[in-house]
Structure 1
């Protein structure tokens, strides 16, 4: 029987694309490169070391705590291919969340980048199941027990390994959700799920990733394994660019220019910063190789989609997914017979989350649990199932019962679905503003506010109100050159014709920055807590 496992992805890359490159930026900022053939040899060396030096057996958990580097990529293949489970620990977790995740997962070994050592050193005595630590760069640390240095560990090991043909339903990778309430939930990703998700990434009507592409991985590999893009790129032999630690717009710009990157990914805030950098300090010709951006995590504003298309000829592919769906499960692609739409109508479609991937089924349920009409107007909670959607949270039956209706996953997103099947998120169930018995979409308000030329970022939240129960409050960060020059009235005036009067925010609060979650999304939970009494105190 042919199993859909990660071994096939790895060995195919070495067999057919041995001369293709993987380019990497180290934690120290240096740039290096090697071939897929060399990559395969190093994965084999690491597999030998995992087995012989670290005593990792099938089913054991191996934790990683690191950035998008070549060593982290090697670990993404070596651990699952010997039958272990790679646990990508979110480096943005609080110390208590890290301790909980590592202990709950029962990780046996932890690999970490050298600049993240202080975090782990401060909690190492609380990591009860971790027997050894591997630092992925040279270090003089003596605070961690059984400490190895990555290059010393694999040095001298054989560059060949007989990888087992593992059952495709075995777990390969695990990830903990960035939960806003309660402890993070554990999600297991199987070899089969990763394989199918990788193949789906390469379809013409999804992200169309191919051997000819040069892909730069911006989405952190500690978060859903960089949306599994590194596996897809390896499957088809794309040249890969790993930008390393603490990326900034100028670093991405230089990598795109030098390596001729054609496709990249990331949350909207990354590309908003990048857009502003290119406008102020860059040159369009330097990034002319860039053709596509897969943007998810939160909805990219229509103004961002339009700017990249019209100023740089870059297509922004609006993507939607969750930790529970191996991330991407819905993405924008314009159907052929809609090409004759006006440019404005096309941008309206582009701003929607899009169509489900082949192998994915969707619907939306109203408050009574009944399917909504697909007319682009009725709203309901998106439910989803499919070839790579999880069907449970690992060892968490209570939250599994709360989150599933049969084999349908409740997403918590309020959506409309139009007659063509395009999904548009109206709001998160927890973010929708309930004012005077009516619902207001924070997402719609944010998109229009961010279309204002002076606005850098905007987040709209529900704030308690004595009369209306809740009212919208817009938190706005202005671009540097507009600070002190744009008023509340200017912002309201720019959006007042787009919405009913009662939708308009009661106030605009100008901030220096909007708090972000560990994966770069606006952290509305923090804003709601901080501004809970904002309108009550103003009465």
Structure 2
């Protein structure tokens, strides 16, 4: 018979992070560039008090535990207050991505049955367009100072966030409940079909934040200042609003200004040591810095994720004295699955070899397991030669989609363990190093071989005249499919198609070199900062190779 341990039982609830932050790091700051245009400062202690005021206000609006409370907002102290107040009282924070189309947002809001929506003034036109089609929403709350409320509100009965808080005191005791209760809800940005919901629990979110702070992951400390450029509507800003408050780390929130000059100003002004965002953000920042002869004075580490990181970007960060950490995961994984950081031995390798290691997706952090499956469902060895579809399971990996959608993404092994199919094609080394070679829908099947679009994109990105690249498959009479390279040039630089194709010589098998190159002014970027290859396929759907 199992014997019960004699340890305290304490539910893992997000409210405990806020209580800890106020009690032990109450002096620490959250700095926000607000929609109002100013740079706002607030301590953890004051923010925790405002979160309790908000919880009282939500009760005053008759919001019940389990209700989905949505946000359409930028990264700010107000958004953090909502994160903690809503989840802390037992409701669910549902972050909506404003980069979705109005039709997608209407579908998501109705699917989730959101009852209250907080939003920034930036999105007032969007709210005006979608509100008539969202019958479940009872309260629309604008995140702005009282004296800046619009004369022509986007919806009838519009409430003001600051007025709601002002009417409440900060006396509130966070309730205790089951740690497996839902706390946040995010929807995927799938390129086919409707977006699907991932409903996170307090327990899964706490464990994810705790492990993201381990030494081989993001490793925030109270000595750090972190700038999450990754939006709070993108997988809860990768868990940073939780991880930072756990450790007493200063938070700098960029608000709506995500351009290179604005990000650089915040990095330097607030002496940021750690930053996080998708590759497109950092490419814009590096380009701004190069054009203006700028350098980093305090930034030491940058977490980059959302899509594959080119070796050229890793090299540029290193030459500026910044360690680039590549994170891999997905919305279904909260999102962190692996982190690519150099080990002690790897730091003694030649620089180019170091860059190529970091360009891989790295090793799992504790809490996530993974395996590779062949097309016939058999498990593949970790020999770094054979590629297969990557399946994962773990403490913060979803068990099923919200509403029961997407059942085909799950399977059970011979022992009954449940696995999630990520849709990524990967290979693994015997020591656990993992490399994504493609998405199952993006891999190019040519003459019986699988050609990795990611490998081809990374080589193109290492050319000094290339700012962005994307590779898609084009039908071919003989080879079934052939790679087609699409390129955005760096401002002020010129390069020809032949120059690009010649650049591949000696860097990859001749059979894998793209058949053609097309130059474009800009890439189509989706709701989470990724290049939308579906749009590129549509644009070039009439192209055929012979």
Distance 1:49 1:247 in 2: 31
Distance 1:83 1:505 in 2: 53
Distance 2:321 2:476 in 1: 45
Deviations 1:241-281 (Å, cap 9, x if unpaired)?
00001311111111111100000101111111111111111
Which residue, 26, 37, 42 being the options, matches 2:34? 26
**1:457-468 aligned within 5 A:** 457-468=468-479
The answer as to whether partners of 2:257 and 2:263 remain within 8 angstroms in 1 is no
Deviations 1:456-513 (Å, cap 9, x if unpaired)?
000011112233221111000001111xx31000001111211122211111100000
Structure 2 residue runs of 5 or longer lacking an equivalent are: 1-8
The answer as to whether partners of 1:29 and 1:244 remain within 8 angstroms in 2 is no
The answer as to whether partners of 2:29 and 2:44 remain within 8 angstroms in 1 is yes
Q: How many residues align?
A: 530
**1:63-462 aligned within 5 A:** 63-137=70-144, 138-284=149-295, 287-310=296-319, 312-397=320-405, 399-405=406-412, 406-462=417-473
SS in 1 for 2:492: helix
**What residue in structure 2 maps to residue 45 of structure 1?**
53
Distance 1:323 1:271 in 2: 21
1:368 CA displacement: 1.6
1:143 CA displacement: 4.0
Deviations 1:33-80 (Å, cap 9, x if unpaired)?
01111101111111110111x211110110101111111111011100
1:111 CA displacement: 0.5
**What residue in structure 2 maps to residue 8 of structure 1?**
16
The answer as to whether partners of 1:131 and 1:146 remain within 8 angstroms in 2 is no
When normalised by structure 2's length, the TM-score is 0.95
Deviations 1:433-470 (Å, cap 9, x if unpaired)?
01122111100000000000000000011112233221
Distance 2:199 2:394 in 1: 15
Distance 1:3 1:520 in 2: 35
The answer as to whether partners of 1:62 and 1:109 remain within 8 angstroms in 2 is yes
Distance 1:336 1:501 in 2: 35
1:380 CA displacement: 0.7
* 1:528 to 2:519 alignment: no
RMSD: 1.2
Deviations 1:149-184 (Å, cap 9, x if unpaired)?
111111131122111022110000001100111111
1:347 CA displacement: 1.8
**What residue in structure 1 maps to residue 5 of structure 2?**
none
Structure 1 residue runs of 5 or longer lacking an equivalent are: none
1:200 CA displacement: 0.9
Compared CA separation, residues 139 and 375, structure 1 to 2 (3 A): same
SS in 2 for 1:534: coil
**What residue in structure 1 maps to residue 3 of structure 2?**
none
1:315 CA displacement: 0.5
1:128 CA displacement: 1.2
- List structure 1 runs of 4+ shifted beyond 6 angstroms: none
The answer as to whether partners of 1:320 and 1:328 remain within 8 angstroms in 2 is yes
1:146 CA displacement: 2.7
Which residue, 494, 504, 513 being the options, matches 2:522? 513
Deviations 1:79-132 (Å, cap 9, x if unpaired)?
000000011011111111111110111111110111101111112111010011
Compared CA separation, residues 467 and 28, structure 1 to 2 (3 A): farther
SS in 1 for 2:534: helix
SS in 1 for 2:37: coil
Which residue, 492, 498, 501 being the options, matches 1:481? 492
When normalised by structure 1's length, the TM-score is 0.96
Which deviates more from structure 2 when the two are superposed, residues 142-151 or residues 263-272? 142-151
The answer as to whether partners of 1:374 and 1:417 remain within 8 angstroms in 2 is yes
SS in 2 for 1:139: coil
1:282 CA displacement: 4.4
Deviations 1:316-343 (Å, cap 9, x if unpaired)?
0011010000011111122333333332
SS in 2 for 1:12: helix
Compared CA separation, residues 97 and 404, structure 1 to 2 (3 A): farther
Distance 1:422 1:505 in 2: 28
The answer as to whether partners of 1:262 and 1:291 remain within 8 angstroms in 2 is yes
1:19 CA displacement: 0.5
Which deviates more from structure 2 when the two are superposed, residues 162-171 or residues 443-452? 162-171
